[in-house]
Amino acid sequence: MRKIVCTFLLGLFVSLQVFSQLRLPSVISSGMVLQQNDSVTLWGWGYNGQQVNAAGSWNNIPSACTVSNLGKWSMKIKTPPAGGPYTLHISSAGNDILLNDVLIGEVWLCSGQSNMEMSYSWGARFIKEDLPTCFNKNIRFFQVPRSASDYPQDDLRGTWQLCDSNSLKTFSAVAYYFGKKLQQDLNVPVGLIHSSWGGTPAEVWTPSEIINGDETLRKAAAELREVPWGPVKPGLNYNGMIAPITKFDIAGAIWYQGEANVGANSTYSRLLTTLIDAWRKKWNKEFPFYYVQIAPYKYGNLNVGALLQEQQTKVMEHPKTGMVVITDLVDSVTNIHPSNKRDVGIRLANWALAETYQKNIAGYKSPAFKKAVADKDKLIVSFNNAEGGLMTKDKIITGFYVSGEKEEWLPAEAKIDNDHIIVWNKKLKQPVYARYGFSNTLTGNVFGKSGLPLCPFRSDNWPVDQGPEKN
């Protein structure tokens, strides 16, 4: 009996020792990048009632907090302008943690589905050319592993890595080229947190209570069918791959997703703006959110991709958002994964440089439809973001269609007039509506003078055929 009691007490002592040990989430570790000029959050676990102290070598000003009765602690520390490497010392009740090689700079979250996930190992072009010279101690990667959970998690597995020829091979190509451009132009350290899962709809990245609290979104989510390659239930990826890092301060987010939502395209703008607002609320920060419009692709059902693109365009009405158009970066409309991720990342970076960092970046926005005005037997179409004029790389402009009051779409001839385009069809005496690139696979060939493609559009609001494509 005495031996049993002693064994129990020894086990209890060991358990208390383990429980009392100071612990940090995986995203707070050596090699990390902290957001500059900010009051960033440090958090973790320990024994209730104990004091936790922290100080960074950039100023050696101590911060402190007390572990709650739930064994959790959280505190704020101020960060200086970009620089490093520094150390960060965290201690509590004889437990000491020293984090080394900590940089201060700009931190971005990079999320979405497979086109954000795509890496050198998946066949992304241009990365091979970067591998011999990609080593950069001022670019750091944090890869969030795939994880789905019914409830929000408070930690995940992952480590910060230097950008080098090994880490780059399996890291998001879009995120890398985005971060590379920022690091070069801002000359500050850049931390990239990549959290994506191929084939997943936006619902799984949105807190479930928000989806379920919106009747429109709840009904759309209920229509999603289970698939073998990933979750479709609202909130599952948010719980496992976003919630654990919402205390980690970021500058903003980039997003490449939408292909998995083409079947329920009518609610996508509402869904994505809901996701954006939910993330901003969780981070308690109105950070910028820049995203990629899906590329032309043969989906099997008519116009579902075009309607999703249209919904994505509407999202730009939401504060602090920006959209990259990539209709010109398509290898084949039978491949849902365009291989050129370099230009996607650079275009996203230009949005951030211009809008977030106030750099003088010319022509970072694609031309976008403004209005169509009838002029006898022609339509004069005007555009936003076309101040420098429009151009085509070919002799004949393609991708335009026109219709009269009664719906009958005819391919249109087109002529560029500085920042306007005049469209017509000789069979149509009074054109009223215009469409450009409005189908799953039309790419068009009109560009702004900066080289960015004209965003697909339609000036009508008629119901659109979404039936099976004919071979």
Tens-place pLDDT, residues 359-400: 999 999 999 999 999 999 999 999 999 988 999 989 999 999
Place of tokens 């690091």: 183
CB within 8 A of 211, min separation 6: which ones?
A: 203, 217, 218, 221, 234, 235, 274
pLDDT for residue 9: 37
pLDDT for residue 423: 98
What phi and psi, each to the nearest 5 degrees, are found at residue 184? -65, -45
Specify which residues 52 forms β-bridges with: 65
Query: Average pLDDT in the 88-108 region?
Result: 97
pLDDT for residue 19: 47
**pLDDT over 50 (residue 2):** no
Structure tokens at 460: 């009508």
Inter-axis angle of helices 342-351 and 173-186, to 10 degrees? 50
pLDDT for residue 427: 95
CB 405 within 8 A of CB 432: yes
pLDDT for residue 12: 38
**What is d(CA 294, CA 256) in angstroms, rounded to the nearest whole number?**
8
Q: Is the dihedral of CA 144, 148, 152, 154 positive or negative?
A: negative
Say what the pTM is: 0.95
Tell which residue, 429, 183, 452, 191, has the closest CA to residue 322.
452
**What is d(CA 218, CA 209) in angstroms, rounded to the nearest whole number?**
10
What phi and psi, each to the nearest 5 degrees, are found at residue 322? -155, 145
pLDDT for residue 470: 81
pLDDT in tens, 414-468: 999 999 999 999 999 999 999 999 999 998 899 999 999 999 999 999 999 999 9
DSSP string, 18-63: HHHS-B--TTSSTT-EEESSSEEEEEEE--TT-EEEEEETTT---E
Within 13 A of 356's CA, how many CA atoms are on the CB side?
25
**What is d(CA 451, CA 219) in angstroms, rounded to the nearest whole number?**
40
**3-class SS of residue 115:** helix
Tell which residue, 354, 356, 378, 373, has the closest CA to residue 365.
354
**3-class SS of residue 127:** helix
DSSP string, 397-437: --SEEEE-SS---EE-EEEEETTEEEEE-TT-SS--EEEES
Q: Which residue has the higher pLDDT, 457 or 94?
A: 457
Tell which residue, 91, 90, 44, 88, has the closest CA to residue 68.
44
Structure tokens at 309: 């693109």
Place of tokens 């090689």: 101
CB 33 within 8 A of CB 190: yes
pLDDT in tens, 270-318: 999 999 999 999 999 999 999 999 999 999 999 999 999 999 999 999 9
pLDDT in tens, 4-50: 433 333 443 333 444 458 999 999 999 999 999 999 999 999 999 99
CB 446 within 8 A of CB 420: no
CB-count burial class (<10 Å; 0-12, 13-18, 19+) for 149 = middle
Mean residue pLDDT of the chain comes to 94
**pLDDT over 80 (residue 151):** yes
**pLDDT over 80 (residue 59):** yes
Spell out the domains of the chain, with CATH numbers in brackets. 18-103 (2.60.40.10), 105-356 (3.40.50.1110), 368-458 (no CATH)
Structure tokens at 399: 């991708």
Query: Average pLDDT in the 120-147 region?
Result: 96
